Amino acid sequence: MTAETFDQQITLSLRRVETLWQQAHESLKLPVQESSGTEDVPNQQQHLLLESLTELSHSLQELQFAAGELRQQNDKLVQSQIALEAERQRYRELFEFAPDGYLVTNPDAIIVEANQAAAHSLNFSPERLVGKSFAVFVATQERRDFYYKLSQLKQGESINNWPVQIQPRGDTSFLASLTVAPVQNPSGQVIGLRWRLQDLTIARYKDSMQSHVHSRFGSIVNRTVIGLGLLDHQGNLIEYNPKLQAMLGCPAEELAPTLMRWMNLDKPGMESAMFRQLIAGERHSYQLEKPFHHPDSPIEWGRLTVALVQETSDEPISVICILEDISQQKRLKAEQQKAIRRQQAIQQQQAVKQQASQPEKTSPVPPPPANPDTSVEQLGQLLNTILSNSSDFFLVCDRTGRYVYVNQAAAQAWGLSQKDCIGKTWHDLKVSTEQMKQLDIQRDIVLTTGQSISDEITLTTVEGVKDYEYTMTRLDNLEGNGGAVVITFKDLSEQKQARVAASEAMAKEAEYRALKSHVDRLASVITQELRHPLNTIFSHAKYLETNPDSDTENNTLYYLQRIQGNAQRINQILNDLLLIKKIEAKQLRLNLTELDLTPLCQELITQLQERTPSKPQISFVGSESCYGVGDERLLRRMLTNFLISAWRYAPEDSPIKLELVCQDEKVVFRIPDFGSGMPESEQNVLFNAFYLDSPVEAVAGSGLGLMLVKYCVDVQGGAIAVESQAEAGSTVTITLPLPQPRQDNP
């Protein structure tokens, strides 16, 4: 009885009691002459009857109220049951996909349940493990100890990290760690065991490899000749190698603040701005050459490279800092400049001495010196002519970012004259905001540090969007201060286009090689498929030619039938190849009609049996009818090749059975066999083009039938799969969509 039915009965009983109570109450109020039948009933009994009916009515009302409370409790129980079922399903999924093996057994170690990892370790499917004793997978020499420990587990004890040698079925043994916990009922009796199986061979190998790699990498980092440091998103030093501390020349407790001050991260400026851009992901790295003034530091100049470390979802943002000592390079460069200046001074002194040693003689009056302004103007024109003949862009901007010089190539790229570019900024040249910000920051860095910066940028010119590589260099004034910045742009568009063209050429070459390989395999499969029927036709024709006077007419008829059958087979192969070509070229159009698959399958089986009576019989298992919409011609081709392939690859004299199942606008064709099965590695490539399973190498042909079946299944939007187990045979299953025909309204 449901809660709703119970409520209905309670309500009905309450109504009946109320009706009875009203009738009794009315009967008590009747006149004396109309109630002669009740004269024998005493007044006291009448009052008792009314009170009983009233109490019964109250009891029924209380019962109805209790039924409502029970219904609310039942609703809560239903919700709790749904939540428990969802939680149980979640734990079931965790159990199935856990990386370690998990088993559930009874107290005698008979397996009741196993997850995928345990089944894989024991080389069994989870379903076939059920009912088997876990002891059979323990190495023989350790079973005595296993049964001893099992007796302890039956007493309610738990075992952790129990090393046991496991012997999987048909595979090599391995050392495993078992953790076992008993399951007890409320009375404390052990009713089951839960096992965790961990392969120690893989775990120890991974741990040893990770430990070896980590120690080797740590040794390399500690012995490297460059300083390495790991910073967090605020610039705080997290880890560092000894070389970094030695290069900065400070104790460990002062290393973090010293590095932050040297990188200028403790105050606003260009370097802290670049670091913030790095953390925000606006750039991947930046590089600077900086002087270092510390009495205990062995370096005078350092090249600092700061790069963002690609973080994962569970790791914080971090930055790698690389410091190289370039003091020697700077000293060599300074010595070269001193040597050049010294050589120039010597040459000037020699010229003065040579001029003083010459005898005084009357010399013509020297021409008046040239106007310095005129010489500078001529030199500027000469320099402009030289720079304008270059295809690269040359721009000079002052500290405010305004251009004081632009060569002709750069001006033409923006559709302006050289004079029109003077005094303009990046904003006037229609450069994007992000690019302007990047160029301004780099200009300030070059002016401040004196170090050149190279980068790449994409600019929009009158010829379209192009990629450029540019270099910023500080231009010092007479006082040696940075008064301007020289920017050189080099067009990289042709180089990138060449790389893209090379990549496309390589891709086309790879496509050509794949196509050539496909054609070669196609020629091979055609040769293999046609060789056997052609050889049969030639041999039978030769026999008939050399034996015109055959002993019997039946013998001649037999050879003619064989020739005709092989000719039909050749025609079928050619038709299959044409169908494959149409499918690959996507030229095949489905001709959908209403059909019944049950008589279609029966008709195909009958035709095949009549054509090849020597082959094993094919049985059909299916419903009386299976209606749907499909391409009948394509289905015939697919099922014919499916059955012929079953004949070809099934064991000799093995019965063939075609199963047909219609369900939920889908149709399933299934053919099981009872052979030796095939390994999983061959199942994955069974339907690849021109593949032939190793146990059937003696069969004529090379798998064209299965290949065509796969093509037909794919073009109809279906799926084909094979299930196989060792010594248990194989089952090939085809699943196709089968839309139902629309029914017209009368």
What is the DSSP secondary-structure string of 403-461? EEEE-HHHHHHTT--HHHHTT--TTTTT--HHHHHHHHHHHHHHHHH---EEEEEEEEE
The amino acid present at 469, given as its one-letter code, is: E
How many Cβ atoms are within 10 Å of 661's Cβ, its own excluded? 15
The structure tokens listed for 182 are: 């008993």
Task: Report whether pLDDT(299) > 80.
Answer: no
pLDDT band of 551, cuts 50, 70, 90: low
The CATH superfamily label for domain 97-206 reads PAS domain (3.30.450.20)
Task: Report whether pLDDT(579) > 70.
Answer: yes
- d(CA 587, CA 590) in angstroms, rounded, equals 10
CATH code, residues 492-586: 1.10.287.130
**DSSP bridge pairs for 308:** 319
Task: Report whether pLDDT(498) > 60.
Answer: yes
Max mean pLDDT among 306-315, 367-376, 678-687, 696-705 falls in 306-315
Task: Report whether pLDDT(683) > 70.
Answer: no
**For residue 252, what pLDDT is reported?**
85
Q: What b/e sequence results for 491-513 when a residue is b if at least 16 CB atoms lie within 10 Å of its CB, and e otherwise?
A: bbeeeeeeeeeeeeeeeeeeeee
The structure tokens listed for 118 are: 């345990």
Q: What b/e sequence results for 600-618 when a residue is b if at least 16 CB atoms lie within 10 Å of its CB, and e otherwise?
A: bbeebbeebeeeeeebbeb
**For residue 106, what pLDDT is reported?**
93
Task: Report whether pLDDT(374) > 60.
Answer: no
**For residue 615, what pLDDT is reported?**
76
- Residues 6+ away with beta carbon under 8 Å from 53: 17, 20, 21, 24
The CATH superfamily label for domain 380-487 reads PAS domain (3.30.450.20)
Max mean pLDDT among 129-143, 211-225, 243-257 falls in 129-143
User: DSSP character for 188?
Assistant: S
Task: Report whether pLDDT(253) > 80.
Answer: yes
Contact 689, 714 (CB under 8 A): no
Q: Which residue has the tokens 């309610």?
A: 156
Task: Report whether pLDDT(38) > 60.
Answer: no
Sketch the domain layout of the chain as residue ranges.
1-31+41-96, 97-206, 224-330, 380-487, 492-586, 589-737
Judged by phi (left if over 0) then psi (alpha if -120 to 50, else beta), residue 31 lies in: beta
Kindly list the strands in the beta sheet with 111-114, ordered across the sheet, starting from the edge strand earlier in the chain: 111-114, 101-105, 190-199, 174-184, 159-166
**DSSP bridge pairs for 475:** 484
Nearest to 736 by CA among 590, 583, 577: 590
Nearest to 248 by CA among 330, 321, 308: 321
- Choose the weakest-confidence range: 7-21, 102-116, 241-255, 473-487: 7-21
**For residue 306, what pLDDT is reported?**
92
Q: What is the average per-residue pLDDT within 266-288?
A: 86
Q: Three-state SS for 544?
A: helix
Measure the N-to-C terminal CA separation of the chain; round to a whole number of Å: 44
Higher-pLDDT residue of 559, 687: 559
Say if strands 618-621 and 656-663 run parallel, antiparallel, or are unpaired.
parallel
Q: What is the average per-residue pLDDT within 144-154?
A: 90
**For residue 387, what pLDDT is reported?**
73
Q: Three-state SS for 479?
A: coil
Nearest to 665 by CA among 715, 573, 592, 735: 735
Same CATH fold assignment for domains 224-330 and 380-487: yes
Contact 451, 289 (CB under 8 A): yes
**For residue 26, what pLDDT is reported?**
65
The amino acid present at 660, given as its one-letter code, is: L
Q: What is the average per-residue pLDDT within 247-274?
A: 86
Among residues of the chain, what percentage have pLDDT more than 90?
9
The amino acid present at 646, given as its one-letter code, is: A
- d(CA 633, CA 592) in angstroms, rounded, equals 10
The structure tokens listed for 438 are: 């990047």
pLDDT band of 599, cuts 50, 70, 90: very high
How many Cβ atoms are within 10 Å of 4's Cβ, its own excluded? 9
- Dihedral sign (CA 366, 372, 378, 383): positive
CATH code, residues 224-330: 3.30.450.20
Among residues of the chain, what percentage have pLDDT more than 70?
76
The amino acid present at 606, given as its one-letter code, is: T
Q: What is the average per-residue pLDDT within 631-650?
A: 83
Q: What is the average per-residue pLDDT within 60-75?
A: 77
Angle of the 597-611 helix axis to the 632-649 helix axis, nearest 10: 50
The structure tokens listed for 648 are: 């070809």
Nearest to 67 by CA among 11, 12, 18: 11
Q: What is the average per-residue pLDDT within 466-476?
A: 87
Nearest to 646 by CA among 635, 633, 659, 631: 659
- d(CA 448, CA 731) in angstroms, rounded, equals 77
Residues 379-401 have pLDDT tens digits of 566 667 777 677 788 889 888 88
- Dihedral sign (CA 60, 65, 69, 74): positive
Max mean pLDDT among 1-10, 120-129, 505-514 falls in 120-129
Residues 189-242 have pLDDT tens digits of 999 999 999 888 765 555 555 565 556 667 777 777 788 898 988 888 888 888
The CATH superfamily label for domain 589-737 reads Histidine kinase-like ATPase, C-terminal domain (3.30.565.10)
- d(CA 550, CA 61) in angstroms, rounded, equals 107
Contact 244, 252 (CB under 8 A): no
* Mean predicted lDDT score pLDDT of the chain: 78
**For residue 478, what pLDDT is reported?**
58
